[in-house]
Amino acid sequence: MAAAGHTIGDTICFPMVSYVVSLKMDNFHSSDNQSRKTLEFPARFRSGVAPLAEARRNLYDGLCIVGCEPECGKTVLMCGLAGVLCDQGAKVRAIKPVTYARQSRSSTEYSFISCITRKPIDYTPVHLSFPPLLGELRWEQIIADTISGDDFTFVELPCGVSTPLFLERESTGSLSHEWRTSADLIHDLQFPALLVARHAPDVFEKLSLALSYLKMRSAQVLAVATVEANPLEAHCLDQHIPRDDFQLFITTNFKLPYLGCLRFSPSISVSQVSQGNLKRTTEECMDLLILRRSLNLPVCPPDDREPA
């Protein structure tokens, strides 16, 4: 964990506070009306938002997968990373607690996530529509679902870094003219983020804008990755900027590690729940050593590992 004042990229990392306080939530119930829960968390928090994520002892118990825009390959990349690391013995899970898609349209996406990670969807995803009126209790429930359990958690956030998830209201019910975004959820989870962009000619401007917004919202960025969401766009970029030069552009200008570019494969389809050669492609294209060096990945004993 970075010491006070240290930076990763352009984003400041703050140390955890050692003492804890108790939070009692009268209305924080599960669907079967279980008794009131008591959560403990370090007493550092952003004004007005209870940081349930502080219940975790280590800042690197998870990684947010966030994109510069919708349809940039976040789901495929998250599942590829989780699947490969799981096969290598890491105790990981991959979740997508919030989506802007209707439940009927997102069912294949959640089946794809469950199929590759070999874990059931043991949480209730929130399906947003505009205007997004998530509510404080639901916001806290999303955080609680994300930090539950002992496995390292990859958590995909919807659309782009500045996508509104929660238009806040006053106690009277009127709009307060403030909102929370995917970047605010990263901040409240206290997980670092992997920023994903389409490997396309406009990638530098998309990354610049997204990183500036994440910095403004005090969200920590661990690394950058790109995905060949459209092979024609990727080929156009590669014609003018070779991959080695592209990596130097990223590391030199953004001062962040570049994991690599996930290659397009016609055998991989989220809508058809087909993982194809995703795990092999992820191993070939992504620098997983960066993740292993930076994150607290729990290792599963050999006897407990699931067959690939």
Which residues, at least 6 apart from 226, have a Cβ–Cβ distance to it below 8 Å?
A: 196, 197, 198, 199, 203, 260, 261, 262
Q: How confident is the model at residue 188 (pLDDT cuts 50, 70, 90)?
A: very high
The per-residue pLDDT for 65 is: 97
For the entire predicted model, the pTM comes to: 0.76
Query: 235 pLDDT exceeds 50?
Result: yes
Angle at which helix 74-87 crosses helix 278-285, to 10 degrees, equals: 90
DSSP character string of 186-254: HHHHT--EEEEEESSTTHHHHHHHHHHHHHHTT--EEEEEEE-SSHHHHHHHHHHS-HHHHHHHHHHHH
Q: At what angle do helices 136-147 and 182-189 cross, to 10 degrees?
A: 50
pLDDT score at 161:
94
Mean per-residue pLDDT, 131-160: 87
Report d(CA 215, CA 128) in Å as an integer.
Answer: 25
Q: What is the pLDDT of residue 48?
A: 38
User: Does the pLDDT of residue 55 top 70, yes or no?
Assistant: no
Instruction: Name the residue with higher pLDDT: 247 or 171.
Output: 247
pLDDT band for 40, please (50, 70, 90 cuts).
Answer: very low
Check pLDDT > 60 for residue 1: no
Residue 302: pLDDT over 90: no
Residue 114 has pLDDT above 60, yes or no: yes
Gap between the Cα atoms of 149 and 146, Å rounded: 9
Lowest mean pLDDT, pick from 120-124, 173-177, 199-203? 173-177
175 in helix, strand or coil? strand
- pLDDT over 70 (residue 212): yes
According to CATH, the topology of domain 50-304 is: Rossmann fold (3.40.50)
User: Binning pLDDT at 50, 70 and 90, where does residue 231 land?
Assistant: very high
Segments making up each domain of the chain, as ranges? 50-304
